[in-house]
Structure 1
Amino acid sequence: MSFPTLLWVCLVMGLTAEEVPPAASAGQELIPNGGMEGPYSAGIAAGWVKNCYGDNEAVFAEETQDVHGGRSAQRITCVRFTSGGVQCHSADLAIEKGKPYTIRLWMKGDIESPVYVGLRKHGPPYTSYLKRHVRVKPQWRAYLITGEASDTDPRCGLYLMFAGTGTLLVDDVSVLPGICRQMPASQMPPPEKGNRIYNSGFEAGPEGWTPTDGFTIDRSVAHSGRASARIGPDDFRGLECRPFPVRSGMPYTASLWIKAEKPNTPVTLRLFEWADEGGDRPSSRNELSARLTASTQWSRYRLTGVVWPDMWEHYVLRITPGGTVWIDDVQVEEGELTDYRPRHPMEVGAETPIRWCRVGDRVEVLAHVAIYSSMEKSSPEKPSDGSPQAVPLTYTLEDLWSRPVQQLSRSASGGEPDRATFTLDRPGMYRVRVQAGDSPATGEVWFGVFPHRDRALRPNAFFGTHVRAVVPQPTNTFLASEAMGARWVRLHDFGDFCHWYVVEPEKGRFVWHDAEIQELRARGFMILANLGHPPLWSARPHPKEQDRGRWTAAPPRNMADWENYVFQTVQHYRPHIRHWEVWNEPCWQGFFSGTPEEYAELLKTAYQAIKRADPQAVVIGGCFSFHSPEWTKRVLRQDALRFMDALSYHVYWGPAETEPPAPDQPCYIQQEVRHFLDLMREYGQVKPIYMTEGGVRCPPFASWLPPEGFIRSAPFGSQRGGYRHLTGLDAACGLVRGMVEMLSAGVTTICYYYTGGDRGAMPWFSTMANGYYVLLDYDGRPKPTMMAYSALEQQLDGARPLGKRRKNNLTIHLFAKRTGSLAVVWSDQHRQLSIQGVQVLDLMGNPMPTPTLRPGEPVFVLASHLQPEQLETALK
């Protein structure tokens, strides 16, 4: 992990200061020839070793023109990459367990993948003792990694590795014992002053802060101006600002005014990278942090340190109190502490309680305008007669493509809220931006608009989701799942009402969730229930690390217990649940620690118990992964296809998985489905295929998002698309292309993972890029992918897939409808689509007066009077 530099928490204005002891001093340099000087042999600097592995082709060379220091730098160019790592390491060095070390180096390049930098064991098991993944820029930049070695090794090395094509330049590498985080002042630029935080004094409402329902704007208490943020005992514990840009290696000072309800209230300050590598949960990030004690009087506190971002050069400030506090006048600036100043002389905040609505509904947007005199919050601008200053406001309604749909002009007074109302007559993703005069500081809100749709049960529907049913008061997440057109719900971790540890927590004692199941059915959801997750009492002896709280990944000790649980569950829910999936991802040790053969036996026993309880039930087996082909084969060799009515698999994808790797080659999504079809032909007979869990990453629909941090690759498995930036439009197109490719390849049912938790996504700005295949954002508002899902369901409702065609750089997926036909179409290039007698709808399901196809962006071609073969001919 990384530690803060020059870190203080102190009361200013003459009050007592608490100072953290200085960092340990640096010792002797451990890396010979860290400057990458000559002589070079076979392209590698003296004292360094080429150590590439896998299927790739890399060229090492001496760089003499573009260097950071000295005469030479190490150039590494990967011209072809399929797998493995492009890697080099230093000569031997010795480290001791528990001792602190500092790794510093300069790099630049054009590679998309992160660079692994770490002290590592030379041979198997290649243990990392101190490491970090960092991203390089086209300009030279310093990187710093500090921490304690996890073990002792007298002969390890410093390793540099990346996985992808491109060029990396490395220079001035250093490994020092001790902690040394400062760069020489001569190597750093002068500070750029100014507050980095938008709406830092809360005068513009809640804009720019999360969790959006975790604090209150208090207009009766303030350090200056008219407002502060109150975090009370019933609020979500903490407050976090919108991401702001930083410069690596520069000192920053965060300051704020705090007043506590009770004396000696603890408060934690954290200044840290806004995103990481994009996993399900936040992982290691560069961070400055400290704890302070707040008093019942307004006092100013600060946190100072040097920032060393690893992945992304945007940070957030999080404030976490241990009791009720008021926060005001927050500031983050480069360099030393200065008097508080807002970021802009005029700032606008926008808010609306409407997260989503339906066509024809009205949406009211509330705008707060904050005007500062001489950039001092305590002096609101007023004309000479004392009346509030009138400010021209412009409300702009924008669609998914950021095109203006409607504009309203109004006049508002500084400090007084204004309201504007929009009536939405077309489905889609929308954003309202509010601007005061010509100020660049705009406020904004966004929301989704769904079409009206009936909720009759549809056993043959294509699309489902994962969401928890809550009674008697449904959550926003549950209602949004209904509104977006999901027709199936898979009961797994969200609403795991049928898992063994829930149904039979103690042997012989059964617990049923009839109200939730009936609520799902009443709202039009077909149910696909997952069976598995054994309670601890039922498992065979196993290591403790296989336990997951109340359930375990270990197989059951007694097959009769498993059979009884399955029979009792299916029999009890028979009127409402007719589709049963046996286990979740048994190929992964985290869910099942047994062998493929043991899973096949569980499947056989479950199949017989299910059919005994409900002969008409559909048994879904496998829950396979394309990435575990040998596991799948071993299960199928046990004659497993006889004991399932359908086969299921999981896939998480990115936009690149829906794009062919080469002309006339199937995309990754198609390859996966064909893989399972081929295996079924080899081991028995072809059964229907269900994709019961998978999703695509997507950012929120905000214009102020950091330019980096949302990546285009799949959340799990494939890394196609690498670390290229992902937009909401790109993600929405990838969702539609992916789902349509599955249907045309032979998938019958798709259960998206997932709509969201009870609040939506995780509630912080700093978790927007974690687990972000979720369809709702941090505020419970739809993402572009949710609205694309809705449009796709609306158009394919009642359709029958007829396969995929490719012609003249056009991808065509044909469907038969009850009357006429439909095609989902996208092009490899910009082009006009001109066909008589059809209607062309855009990605959101709205008519296109002039159908212009943009590369990779699906449209819906509706031909109510044409048969599929006629539509195919017209499109070709």
Structure 2
Amino acid sequence: MQFIVFHRPLAVCFLLPLLIRSVVAAVPTSAPEPYIPEPHVGFGKLVSQAATTRFRSDFSPPAEGWISLSGRGYLPAGWLDLTPLSGKVHYSRSVFDGVPMFHIEASGTLSEKNAVRASIPLGTLSPGTICKIRIRTRSTTGSPVSLSILAGESENHSVSGTSKKTTNDISTSDRASVIWHQTIPAGINWKENEFIWIATPPPSPALPPSPSVHPPRPLLIAIGPERSGSCDIFDLVVETIDRGRFETALDATRHAGGDNLLPTTRFPLGLPPRWLLDRTTSDDDVPLQADAHTPGPSGIPSLHIPRPPPPSAPDQAASGPVSIESSPFAIARFWQPHTASLSIRGEATGTLRVRSGTRTIATQRLSIAPSDGWKRLVTTFSPRTPNDEYYLQLTLNGEAWIDALRVAPGDPKTDRAIGDYVPPEAEVTLSFPSPARVIFADEPDDALTSRISWAVLTSPDLPAGSILRAKVVNLYDSQVRLPDTLLTATDSPRLGTWILPRFPGQEFGAHRIEAWVETPKGIRIGTPAEIVVYRLQRPRAWGYDAENSPFGIHATPVVRHLAMAKAIGINWVRLHDAGINTIGWYFLEPERGRWSFNDKAIRRYRDQHLMILGQLGTAPAWATALQQVGPSDWLDRYYRPQDLDAFRNYVRTVATRYRQQIRYWEVWNEPWLASFWKSGRKIDAEGRIHNVYDKDSPAAYAHLTRLAVDAAHQADPALHVIGVNTKPGTGAPRPGRSFSGEDWTRQVAAAGGLEGLAAMSWHLYITRNIGYANDWVEISRKQAFGPVTDPQTRRPSLPVWMTEGSAVQRMTGRGFYYQSLPFPDATDDHGLKVSDQLLRYVTTVLAGGSEKIFLYSMHKYGFFDDGTSFRVLVSEDGYLHPSAAAFSALAWRLEGKRFTQAVQVTSDTRAYVFRDSASTSREWTAVLIRKDESTPSTLSLRDLRASSADSLRFDDIFGNPLPVDRNTAPSQVFFVTGTGRFSPEILTRSTNLK
């Protein structure tokens, strides 16, 4: 089985209408050489030279290191308590899913005189200084969050606070004034907000009005719940930018502005790299292709966005709107208005939005009919800050073709031509045939799957002798130069292909292809292009089911993601969040007796030979208390079922319908947490919103589990049901909020919740260092399953599956891109730190006895926002991250093996040994993990090789062989593989540890 490849008819259709000279695939002839970074097109250095980070929160230190306040809890170091004595507030450090945060709880009636204000000092700001505040918050009680800037009374006034809260040198009532304020709307989910405030801006019609400040008054930022309730702060960053210095630097560079700020404006090869199709739309439903039969106003084939196919049966779910997002772009002169525009035709309604992260900056609605022909869509917007990554989002209901995009400084009110298309001087775009952007190492070098397609669009003014140059860069800072191509002004567009080269000894991992146009004088023209592809070992279970495989993920049912998952060694998916709409009761039976299924989505998982762990969970409003309390947010689907007969019928119905495709089911998700198992909602006397979470929740969940087991076995007695769904933690319940894992497991088991189960599940999120004896993974497992563990065998009473978790929250960043990121200055992400942490986590969870591990999640992307908390394996554009190459290396070595023992190789290195379960093969793999990767290793590879009479293979974190002349062991995870009988002496005979 090969990847599904969408063959683009462009290569054929383009020949006749545009007289393209087809170029035979160019074979690299140069040898690998040290990487030489190309000039970066971004202006990050200019911003960094003008910017100062005034504050960056750090809530990771334990609470013991925080500032103690008499009667008010603890503040993080560097924070001040400016809440008046009459205010009632309590500060604390909290942790949610392994993420440390700052918790503020207020009570009583709040007003300006007793407002809760946890504060940080900013010092003084010069006139015209731009202050950018980025904050990520939530409120589980529904209280809005107040964010203010306070000013002291004079330049000589010292702003300070005391830890005992007996006095403050500044108070909000008489010694400071609120000069700027924002209310952040309440929400139980984490949300990032960004704000810009300008200190006494110089006169300029382009600048927004701002409160008058008289520097150098000392300034502070104050945060707290706006009314009785609580808020959590995950992250707070405050930066200031000296606008004068920034403008001067811009004027001296090529970043002063331009006629078109978009890196890609046309679509000769279909959807370009770093453009996104929304994460819920599958490639086979909406293939985005260049349509040579419908050239756009630019004269280039337009991008066809087809209408999704209609449901195949009356009971099949209908498709929603389709969204695509452009690659990110930067705006240097962000204080000026800008205009975005594109050409569009077809039959559709929808919107064109300018966005940054999760925020919408501008929206233009559209409605087009076939009789309109090509229509120009124009929207004007006001940027916010220079170091944002802006992007365009086009959302459509219907069918459309687009072409000729533009973003430029200006306003149609003063410049009528600003909405017209202006092509770049030169434009390069790249593509790869596989939707997963993966090639396997055993595929021939000249295979179609090894070819990178390119297209160059140039203007008639292209200087004679201009050249298309390109190279391939790997994770080891090596590069291979690709053959040059001479360009002419009359030969546009120009198409061709390159063959992906191999790097001897560094074959596996991410490969970045960079391409640009250069004049004979070495001057770069236009914006460079790049694409990141992966060469990996073919997974052990490629092309067939692997029921016994331990490796699982959460992923939406779209072809590209499922192909990526299978290509890196994933063999299971859990349908929670990603995919829950395909089997969740809330979605399948929105009205009693009216069913809506999505068989096509289920087939997509199985077509890629991914085993499915379905979730028997969520509940429609008519079967829960939601019908009385009314809708609130996405967690409405997790009200505890009241109509248990209807729940039983749901289980029987869905298990029967999918008994051939889904053989394993898990009962509910995180019922130990009020948000996922509430029986109602109430508002207290002070206006705070609370979930109703009953004391009998463990027993009620145990009863629901027994009902699910019975109904599933009515559908098919051989189906496997998994339950308990516990977590780490000890201690008594938090009334109305949650249970500790130990208490939850004990009560569920006592109530008969293990009866008929095939396995028990648990969730594990970690932010700590792991990979050593009695680490947090071992401690967590003992806490979660201690009440059901046999003291003699030290084994739980049932097999254990880890069905949701991660140890790389907010670590899986931008990926191996370089030029595609407009703001960062010459940076890329080799992924070593996140790869090391990810492999530590997967290895230790499996070594701890979990038979399966489902990472969460591949679907958390799509906003170019530097990573949501829970994204794994993919970059922010939804394609593989370098850590996926490391996961692939681990999965390839551990697939078909079972953990047998841990060996302490040296005082700082532990080996987790996995043996092949097949009797015909005696291969074993040791995953070696350093306890502290920040210090030099004490393990000598040279001595280990020399002392071993066995034939051992030493590979690094990405699966490439470690050089034979290397002495010191890597700081990151690495592998030692051998065959035959394993004994600890194989790894320890060269050390002092026996």
Name the TM tier (shorter chain).
Answer: 0.5 to 0.7
Would you say the 8 A contact 1:53–1:87 is kept in 2? no
Query: Does 1:403 find its partner at 2:478?
Result: yes
Which residue of 2 is the match for residue 784 of structure 1? 882
Pick the aligned partner of 1:330 from 393, 406, 430. Answer: 406
Deviations along 1:635-692, one digit per CA (max 9) or x if unpaired, are 5225156434532122455xx44458xxx78655444333213344499955432111
Counterpart check, 1:810 vs 2:909: yes
Please give the alpha-carbon distance, in whole angstroms, between the structure 2 residues aligned to 1:326 and 1:862.
Answer: 52
Equivalent residue number for residue 687 of structure 2: none
Q: Matches of residues 62-77 of structure 1 in structure 2 within 5 Å? A: none
- Provide the residue aligned with 1:637 in structure 2: 747
- Residue in 2 that maps onto 1:490: 574
Does the 8 A contact of 1:500 with 1:535 survive in 2?
Answer: yes
* TM-fit CA distance, 1:434: 2.2
Determine the structure 1 residue equivalent to 2:553.
465
In structure 1, the partner of 2:498 is 420
Distance 1:158 1:560, change over 3 A: same
- Give the CA deviation at 1:815: 1.8
Aligned partners of 1:133, 1:480: CA distance in 2, in Å? 29
Given that 1:745 and 1:803 are in contact with CA atoms closer than 8 Å, whether structure 2 keeps it comes out as no
Partner of 1:678: 786
- Matched to 2:275, the amino acid is T
Amino acid at match of 1:586: P
How many Å separate the matches in 1 of 2:870 and 2:100?
26
Q: CA–CA distance in 1 between the matches of 2:608 and 2:378?
A: 52
From 688, 698, 701, the counterpart of 2:799: 688
Distance 2:267 2:471 in 1: 22
Deviations 1:384-436 (A, max 9, x none): xxxxx4x4444323334453257444444452223222366954332222244
The letter of the residue matching 1:689 is: V
How far apart are the structure 1 equivalents of 2:866 and 2:424?
A: 25
Q: 1:588 to 1:706 in 2, by over 3 A?
A: farther
Q: Distance in 1 between matches of 2:611 and 2:377?
A: 56
Following TM superposition, by how much is the alpha carbon of 1:869 offset from its aligned partner in structure 2, in angstroms? 1.7
Counterpart residue number, 1:743: 846
Q: Is the alpha carbon distance of 1:679 and 1:412 closer, same or farther for their aligned partners in structure 2, counting shifts above 3 Å? A: farther
Q: Distance in 1 between matches of 2:848 and 2:426?
A: 54
CA 1:725–1:673 in structure 2 vs 1: closer, same or farther (change >3 Å)? farther
Secondary structure of 1:845's counterpart equals: coil
User: Hey, what does 1:364 align to over in structure 2?
Assistant: 451
Partner of 2:462: 381
Amino acid at match of 2:955: L
Is the Cα–Cα contact under 8 Å of residues 110 and 136 in structure 1 kept in the other structure?
A: yes
Of 856, 859, 864 in structure 1, the residue corresponding to residue 974 of structure 2 is: 859
**What amino acid is the match of 2:439?**
C
- 2:147 equivalent in structure 1: 118
* Inter-CA distance 289–523: structure 2 relative to 1 (3 Å threshold): closer
Uncovered stretches (5+) of structure 1, i.e. residues with no partner:
1-49, 63-77, 96-102, 148-156, 172-182, 276-281, 372-376, 384-388, 711-723
SS of residue matched to 1:380: coil
- Structure 2's unaligned 5+ residue stretches are 1-68, 82-92, 94-98, 115-121, 138-144, 150-171, 173-180, 186-190, 202-206, 211-219, 225-231, 278-286, 309-320, 680-693, 730-737, 946-950
Of 882, 885, 891 in structure 2, the residue corresponding to residue 793 of structure 1 is 891
1:38-57 superposed matches below 5 A:
54-57=73-76
The answer to whether residue 243 in structure 2 is matched with residue 159 in structure 1 is no
Q: Are the structure 2 counterparts of residues 482 and 405 from structure 1 closer, same or farther at C-alpha, using a change threshold of 3 Å?
A: same
Corresponding residue of 1:442: 528
Q: What is the one-letter code of the residue matched to 2:531?
A: V
Distance (Å, rounded) in 2 between the aligned partners of 1:113 and 1:804: 42
* Equivalent pair of 2:262/2:406 in contact (CA under 8 Å): no
1:739 partner letter: V
Deviation of the 1:461 alpha carbon: 2.1
Within 2, Cα distance between the matches of 1:227 and 1:809? Answer: 60
CA 1:556–1:670: 2 relative to 1, 3 Å: same
Alignment of 1:140-289 (within 5 A): 159-160=222-223, 192=251, 193-195=256-258, 197-199=261-263, 201-202=265-266, 207=272, 210-211=275-276, 216=290, 227=300, 234=307, 240-246=325-331, 250-255=334-339, 259=343, 261=345, 270-273=353-356, 275=357, 282=358, 284=359, 287-288=361-362
User: Measured at CA, do residues 803 and 504 of structure 1 come closer, stay the same or move farther in structure 2, by a change above 3 Å?
Assistant: farther
What are the superposed Cα offsets for residues 77-103 of structure 1, whole Å, 9 maximum, x if unpaired? Answer: x9xx97636999xx97599xxxxxxx9
RMSD: 5.8
In the alignment, which residue of structure 2 is the partner of 1:530? 615
Q: Deviations over 1:330-368 (max 9, x none)?
A: 243499979899898554322223332333153222223
How many residues end up aligned between the 2 structures?
725
| Aligned counterparts of 1:446 and 1:498: Cα–Cα separation in 2 | 34
Q: Give the TM-score normalised by structure 2.
A: 0.59
Closer, same or farther in 2 for the Cα pair 1:220/1:495, shift >3 Å? Answer: closer
Structure 2 CA distance for partners of 1:184 and 1:166, relative to 1, 3 Å: closer
* Aligned counterpart for 2:762 among listed residues 631, 646, 649: 649
Alignment CA distance shift 1:629-1:814 (3 Å): farther
| Higher relative contact order (Cα pairs below 8 Å, separated by 6+ residues) | 2
Q: SS of 2:913's equivalent?
A: strand
The residue that corresponds to 2:102 in the other structure is 84
SS in 2 for 1:58: coil
1-structure distance, mates of 2:501, 2:983: 37
TM norm structure 1: 0.66
Which of 724, 730, 747 aligns to 1:622? It is: 724
Structure 1 Cα separation of the partners of residues 839 and 324 of structure 2: 36
Report deviation, 1:191: 6.2
Deviations 1:780-799 (A, max 9, x none): 64333433333222100121
The residue correspondences of 1:343-362 to structure 2 (distance < 5 A) are: 346-354=426-434, 355-359=437-441, 360-361=443-444, 362=447
Letter matched to residue 814 of structure 1: V
SS at match of 1:84: strand
Letter of the structure 1 residue corresponding to residue 102 of structure 2 = G
Taking the aligned partners of 1:345 and 1:118, their CA distance within structure 2 comes to 45
> Among 617, 639, 644, which residue is 1:554 paired with?
639
**Displacement of 1:239 after TM fit?**
6.4
For structure 1, which segment, 475-484 or 360-369, has the greater mean C-alpha deviation from structure 2 after superposition?
A: 475-484
Structure 1 residues 523 and 325 mapped into 2: Cα distance closer, same or farther (>3 Å)? closer
Paired with 1:406 and 1:430, the residues of 2 have a C-alpha distance of 13
SS at match of 1:460: coil
Residues 1:848 and 2:955 aligned together: no
Compute the displacement of 1:621 (Å): 1.6
Match of 2:855 among 752, 768, 778: 752
| 1:238 positional shift | 6.7
User: Are 1:531 and 1:583, in contact at CA under 8 Å, matched by a contact in 2?
Assistant: yes
